[in-house]
Structure formats: C-alpha cells, structure tokens
C-alpha cells in the first residue's frame, strides 16, 4: 500500500489534479506491483510563497509547474523497479496532464511492512503474534 502525497502550487483544475493521481497510480500498478484498489493519495496545494524550491538542482531546471510526489511504500522493491517507477510517473504525467518531466520530483520513502495499519488498530502486514 503506497501512500502518495502530491504537492504543487495552488490554482490547478480538478481535472489536472485527477490526471496527476491517475498517472502516478497507473505507474505504480505497471511497475511496482500495486494491486487494483490500492489507492491512497493526498493532494497538497500551496500558495507560491509557501511552495519553495531551487530553480535548478543537479542540472535540472524547475519552474512554477513543479510537482513533488512523495510515495511511502513498503521496502520490498528492487532498484530496477524503482527506476521503472520514476520513469513511468514522469512519462505518464508528461502525456496527461502535459507536465514537463523536468518538473516532476519524486521522493520514495520506504518503511518496513509492519509499519502499516489499515484500520481497527491492527498491524496489517507484520508478523503474527506468538
């Protein structure tokens, strides 16, 4: 179960934000073995004064359309899957909503499987109690 947080400047349309969610989710399903129905996303919109970033970092220029994608997921994927995920997200968002792939910053936060509870205060993926 990835938890995805999308941060961007305020002022986009609902359709634009829906395309971000759809493109990221499709990339996770294609490259990251995320099952159908495993969709948990929060969108954070910020005023320009509250969305601060370097205009260039590691040789990549960023502008006012920057989107920061943070994905919290279980630490169970290979480096190849991670590379494929990053490329698929950038490619999908390039197609719809037409975001320049340079404007897509992705941060993957990996946690142990036992760090998830989907409700009722139960550890969903951890070892059973002995």
pTM, two decimal places: 0.92
pLDDT digits (tens, 9 = 90+) for 15-26: 999 999 999 999
Domains of the chain are 3-115 (3.30.429.10)
Q: How confident is the model at residue 38 (pLDDT cuts 50, 70, 90)?
A: very high
CA proximity to 3, closest of 62, 69, 92, 56: 69
pLDDT digits (tens, 9 = 90+) for 75-112: 999 999 999 999 999 999 999 999 999 999 999 999 98
Q: By the 8 A CB rule, do 15 and 93 touch?
A: no
Residue 92, phi then psi, degrees to nearest 5: -65, -45
Q: By the 8 A CB rule, do 38 and 2 touch?
A: yes
Which residue's structure tokens are 């969903």?
Answer: 124
DSSP state of 32: S
Distance CA 111, CA 16 (A): 29
Asked if the model's pLDDT at residue 126 lies above 90, the reply is no
């Amino acid at each position: 179960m990835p938890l995805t947080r999308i941060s961007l400047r305020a002022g986009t349309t609902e359709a634009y934000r829906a395309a971000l969610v759809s493109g990221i989710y499709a990339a996770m399903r294609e490259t990251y073995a995320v099952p159908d129905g495993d969709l948990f996303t929060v969108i954070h919109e910020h005023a320009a004064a509250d969305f601060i970033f370097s205009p260039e970092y590691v040789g990549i220029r960023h502008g006012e359309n920057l989107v920061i994608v943070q994905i919290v997921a279980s630490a169970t994927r290979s480096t190849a899957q991670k590379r494929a995920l990053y490329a698929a997200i950038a490619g999908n968002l390039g197609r719809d909503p037409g975001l320049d792939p340079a404007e897509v910053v992705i941060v993957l936060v990996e946690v142990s499987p036992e760090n998830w509870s989907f409700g009722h205060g139960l550890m969903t993926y951890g070892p059973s109690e002995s």
